[in-house]
Amino acid sequence: MAQATGRQRAADAGYGTEGGPAPRTSPSRTRTQRRTRTRQNKQRAAVSVRLSANERAQVKAAADHTGASLAKFMAQASLAAAHDINRVAANLLDLRGTIRELIAARTDLARIGNNINQITRTFNSGGDPIGAEAALADVRRAAARLEAAAQALAERA
């Protein structure tokens, strides 16, 4: 009856020591080791990206359109951009130029606003505001620059 259990048979056959479990030499052990090594080789570094709700929706829609998961789509798009760095750099430079234009136009409007305040003070004190027409023309030009830069940014989005 002592021979009925698997553990006792292994001990009797000399595989285990003092009735303990026999050492594992089955193919399942090596399969597990291979599986672990394969997973370790395939693991990739994680990258965190913050998106607004609108940006995430746009990227998700593009991913759905291609049939890829959001993570896979972002990885593939990033790699495609990295492979075509000249085009990406040109787009970024164009975007930076547009942003610089917005900042310059905003600065011009602040200066022009100061001039208009001085003209208004002169006019309210009974004087003849010299340069009122030129200041208004400057406002119109700066507003047109702001509008053009804002439109360029809107078209990119």
Q: Is the dihedral of CA 15, 17, 18, 22 positive or negative?
A: negative
pLDDT of 124 higher than 80? yes
Report yes or no: 105 and 61 within 8 Å, Cβ to Cβ.
no
Percentage above 70 pLDDT, the chain? 71
Q: What is the dihedral of CA 133, 135, 140, 145, to 10 degrees?
A: 150
Rg of the chain taking only CA atoms, in angstroms: 36
pLDDT tens string 90-120: 777 777 777 888 888 888 888 888 888 888 8
Q: Whole-angstrom Cα distance, residue 144 to residue 102?
A: 11
Residue 96, sorted as left (phi over 0), alpha (psi -120 to 50) or beta, turns out to be: alpha
pTM for this model (two decimals): 0.38
Quickly list DSSP for 91-133: HHHHHHHHHHHHHHHHHHHHHHHHHHHHHHHHHHTT---TTHH
